[in-house]
Amino acid sequence: MRNRKLRILAVVMFLILSVGIVSAHDEAEPVTIRFAAMVGDLPAACGITYSGLGTEASQVSLNDFRFYISNVRLIDADGQETAVELTQDGLWQYENVALLDFEDGTAGCGEAGNPEMNSRIIGEVHEGDYVGIAFDLGVPFELNHLDTTTAPAPLNVPAMWWNWQFGYKFVRIDMLIADSELPAWFIHLGSTGCEAADSSTAPEEPCSNANVVAVQLDNFDATQNFIIADLSELLAQVNLTENSPEPPGCMSLPEDPDCGGLFTGFGLALDTGTMLEDQAQHFFQVR
């Protein structure tokens, strides 16, 4: 009987020590994920004119360049995903959502912009050998229909919000088009088909067209690489000289023909707001 108790005790101690060893090797470590906004080979910035964009090689200047990222995971060589716990900094990150802001409130960005900028996501992740990254371009439904006047930062930015019913603009890129009858072109990506009593009421069920872009990138090392948001690649199939109907550009409505080429760049099906099976997104890449 005594020997049996000793054996049981030995097994228990072994399990405790084993858990301790696993925990010691499974500790969280800080991680910084760096982004850069580009227009081809040039940094995206307010007050600069860029040439050769879209199907008509248009000349474009920027009035805004911001987007929300959520649900960030790192991927190991076996394809296993590990969530990054975002630092709750009270400014750029809340729960699992971060705002990346590449406008500085100068030049054409002065009307809706602000001086503060943010090009990184900071947090913690369990130790591991990671070779890729995945994240969503967008805000999850549970946080997408808050009141921007009372929401915590970074979900309190009026320029990134439509209304309670439709929620946030996941992407806001505002452009001026030179030498064109169409002076402006807006990229406002967000959820549509959101059923509510009126625009000041949040929907109780997810919107029919979520329009959240699921991004997965290989060969990513957070200590070495940047994630590039390339406007030139995104607009490769977009004619910036045409618009029908108003307002100019794409407001994510499935019936808007101006959204077709843009949604292809995002890897989204315009009619359903889900990811295309045979078309990857072209907005983000690793460098």
pLDDT tens-digit series, residues 123-170: 999 999 999 999 999 999 999 999 999 999 999 999 999 998 999 999
Give the residue with greater pLDDT, 20 vs 280.
280
Q: Indicate the residue type of 73.
A: R
pLDDT beyond 60 at 18: no
Q: Indicate the residue type of 197.
A: A
How far apart are alpha carbons 65 and 176 in whole angstroms?
12
Residue boundaries of the structural domains of the chain: 28-286
- pLDDT for the residue 12: 46
> 179 in the Ramachandran plot: left (φ > 0), alpha (ψ -120 to 50) or beta?
left
Burial (CB < 10 A; 0-12, 13-18, 19+), residue 77, is exposed
Q: pLDDT band at 256, cuts 50/70/90?
A: very high
DSSP conformational letter for 204: S
Burial (CB < 10 A; 0-12, 13-18, 19+), residue 55, is middle
The DSSP H or E segment spanning 111 is: none
Q: Where are the beta strands (DSSP E) in the chain?
A: 28-39, 42-43, 49-53, 58-76, 81-83, 85-86, 93-94, 97-101, 120-126, 130-137, 161-163, 167-168, 171-177, 184-189, 213-218, 226-230, 249-250, 284-286
- pLDDT for the residue 280: 93
Q: pLDDT band at 6, cuts 50/70/90?
A: very low
Report pTM. Answer: 0.90
Q: What is the pLDDT of residues 24-45, one digit of tens each?
A: 346 899 999 999 999 999 999 9
Q: pLDDT band at 171, cuts 50/70/90?
A: very high
> 173 in the Ramachandran plot: left (φ > 0), alpha (ψ -120 to 50) or beta?
beta
Contact of 185 with 53, CB cutoff 8 Å: no
Query: Average pLDDT of 273-281?
Result: 95
Catalogue the long-range contacts made by 157-162 (C-beta closer than 8 Å, 24 or more residues apart): 157/66, 157/99, 159/64, 159/66, 159/112, 159/113, 160/66, 160/68, 160/99, 162/188, 162/190
- pLDDT for the residue 111: 81
Task: Tell me what percent of the residues of the chain surpass a pLDDT of 90.
Answer: 80
Q: Indicate the residue type of 238.
A: V
- pLDDT for the residue 179: 80
Task: Tell me what percent of the residues of the chain surpass a pLDDT of 70.
Answer: 91
Q: What is the mean pLDDT of the chain?
A: 91
